[in-house]
Structure 1
Amino acid sequence: MTTLNLLCLPYSGASAMVYSRWRRKLPAWLQVRPVELPGRGARMGEPLQTDMQALARQLAAEQRLATAAPYALLGHSLGALLAFELAHELRALGCPPPLALFACGTAAPTRREDYDGKNWREPKSDDELKSELRELNGTPEEVLANAELMGLTLPILRADFMMCGRYAYRQRPTLPCPLHVMGGDADRASEEQLLAWRKEGHSHFSLHMFPGGHFFLHEHEEAFLATLTEHLQGARQPVASLSVN
């Protein structure tokens, strides 16, 4: 049976291992491969990055071999933009396209008004970062009050927010893979901002709205993973047919 590698890019401040629990919840043919970013998790000793294009280029070189097998890309928030840029950088290296790109929880690359409005290009203070975490409603107060945990998390978050704030959209040929966008109905990204992702691909497009805020993929994990699996099951059918023939 044809397996499919799902390369997962984390959101701001997080390690890619936030996706590791999915390994127990998804079918065996779907191999979850969290893509760790420099400065966190197993790569804690590496410098943090604030240039998304440079990071995407680095990750493309690191993940190039993974594209020899059928694969899909998924990212949430910052990770969605990074997955999008990674798809383009892999294309520039001559790699086959992903079977699908899943962009979750963020406005399209051409609709970054929310970041522009808050001037995330410049580093924010600890208090400003904590305030943003409270607004996103994904961090318990006891974690925000833990000085040791915050001491580890806030530098990563600061760099990640700057990376988003400094992101510059570049016009390139549209991606040839299906593009599936996921959003929360109480999240900041509007349906219009999410629908604007449609312009970035010339294959199949879908938009799925889930109940909840920014972290709908955790709040409604079962429904989210069911939708993900359904799309990838369909995407791998042509690959399976080719391997049989």
Structure 2
Amino acid sequence: MPCIVWRSEEELRKYFRDQLSTAGPEAEENGNAANTPHLHGGGSNGATVNGEAQLPAARQAVMQPSCGTVAMSPTAARVAAAASEGGPTGPSTGKAAAACLRPDVLSRMRILAFHSAGNAEDMWTSEGTGVRRSPSPLLEWCRSSDVEMLAVQMPGRGSRAREPFITTAQAAARELLPVVQPLLESGVPYAVLSHSFGTWICFELLRAVRRAGLPLPRIWCLSAMPYPDVPYSLRPWRQQRALGDADFQEEVRGWDVNEVVFTPDMWQLYEPILRADCTVFDEYELQPDDPYKYDARQAADADSVAGLAPLEPFDFPIEAFWGNTDRRVRSELVAPWARYTRAGFRLTEVAGNHLWPINNREAKTAWLNQVVQAMNQAVLLTKK
């Protein structure tokens, strides 16, 4: 479900011009080998205490299968450089990238966040500037409570604009697992956070984490996405593959996207991103866990949503949110996520449309305050 960042048309054009100019030939040379979701850290600057710069709300780690590169806070950069054979100014290697993911950084807990369709990591890591600034209670909490925000950046957008898209949730999960594995094995507790399209990618990653025997999160806060075994007949959207340009624009408008996106210049930039992201949830099919007994006929039965989930439920709580003016994802499509946990489920209404994290400051603030409260209860008291 598309979520577009809040910028004027002029700012959006400049943003994409800058991203394309800075991506450079290296992105093209990396090609498919670089087609791995990245982890990005916050858009806020580090605080200053007693005249010394402190760690920002999050650091940024950019990972690739064959060659990892890192861009992070000065402290984390020194940690990575210490493990790099090339030293602080030497070549960026996978070894250096892995170093920045070790628990040397002084975080008490971590949040792994997944952006929505048509969006990027700055959905979580940026508060904007000037009159468009929208303070984030989540980032404020990260800064004040030694919590590390790590936001997934899917390829094909932002600084990764020249990289090929990933168009299945399962493929994204496969690529992400080795990136996050050092984080999960570090002993630092973590939570996961996802909105809309990012929720099914997060779900597949959590399944992969469980299959690999890695630590699971203390809590998952998800929003504005139907349960993963929703039948095609109940999915509140049309598949993009069969839609021409005009029909696809109409479909995207149904997700409350800002009209600036549909101006000719902007649409030329956004259409490929949106079509790729829509493909992820258009063609997603949940494959049941093999060891778990499940009547496959139940999955095709629209009346079965109150029954068993098609896989073993998770042992962490799920906090789910839905927008009361969302024209697509209503509460009855979010409520069945309760079947995917045996550790507690709560469904909360948000006073906003599908894009409340983007276009409704009041709703965003109230929602993120609830997210912080839920994560506090589940994780904050846990010590390293």
**One fold, TM greater than 0.5?**
yes
Match of 1:142 in 2: 260
TM-score w.r.t. length of structure 1? 0.88
- Give the total of aligned pairs: 239
Match of 1:26 in 2: 141
Deviation at 1:93, TM superposition (A): 2.1
CA 1:116–1:233 in 2, change beyond 3 Å: closer, same or farther? closer
> Does 1:198 pair with 2:338?
yes
Write the distance in 1 (CA, Å) between the matches of 2:355 and 2:237. Answer: 20
**Cα shift readout 1:141-199 (whole Å, capped 9, x = no counterpart):** 23321x33322211011011111011011223211111111110111222222110011
CA 1:65–1:149 in 2, change beyond 3 Å: closer, same or farther? farther
1:156-175 matched pairs, under 5 angstroms: 156-171=273-288, 172-175=311-314
1:225 paired residue among 368, 371, 375? 368
> Does 1:208 pair with 2:313?
no
Match of 1:133 in 2: 252
TM-score w.r.t. length of structure 2? 0.58
CA contact (8 A) 2:261 2:270 kept: no
Write the distance in 2 (CA, Å) between the matches of 1:155 and 1:175. Answer: 34
1:48-197 matched pairs, under 5 angstroms: 48-67=165-184, 68=186, 69-113=188-232, 116=235, 118-120=237-239, 122=241, 124-139=243-258, 141-145=259-263, 147-171=264-288, 172-187=311-326, 188-197=328-337
Deviation at 1:4, TM superposition (A): 1.9
Write the distance in 2 (CA, Å) between the matches of 1:53 and 1:79. Answer: 12
Write the distance in 2 (CA, Å) between the matches of 1:130 and 1:121. Answer: 10
> Does 1:12 pair with 2:117?
yes
CA 1:114–1:95 in 2, change beyond 3 Å: closer, same or farther? same
Write the distance in 1 (CA, Å) between the matches of 2:272 and 2:231. Answer: 23
Write the distance in 2 (CA, Å) between the matches of 1:102 and 1:113. Answer: 24
Structure 1 portions without partners, runs of 5+: none
CA contact (8 A) 2:324 2:350 kept: yes
CA 1:90–1:191 in 2, change beyond 3 Å: closer, same or farther? same
Flag the structure with larger Rg: 2
Write the distance in 1 (CA, Å) between the matches of 2:335 and 2:375. Answer: 20
CA contact (8 A) 1:2 1:239 kept: no
The Cα RMSD (Å) is 2.2
- The list of structure 1 runs, each at least 4 consecutive aligned residues, that deviate by more than 6 angstroms after superposition, is none
Write the distance in 2 (CA, Å) between the matches of 1:52 and 1:234. Answer: 29
Identity of aligned residues (%): 24
Write the distance in 1 (CA, Å) between the matches of 2:112 and 2:357. Answer: 16
Deviation at 1:27, TM superposition (A): 3.7
Q: Which amino acid aligns with 1:98?
A: P
Q: Secondary structure at the match of 1:26?
A: helix
Deviation at 1:239, TM superposition (A): 1.7
CA contact (8 A) 1:80 1:102 kept: no
Write the distance in 1 (CA, Å) between the matches of 2:172 and 2:214. Answer: 17
Write the distance in 2 (CA, Å) between the matches of 1:152 and 1:71. Answer: 35
Q: Secondary structure at the match of 1:151?
A: helix
Write the distance in 1 (CA, Å) between the matches of 2:191 and 2:242. Answer: 33
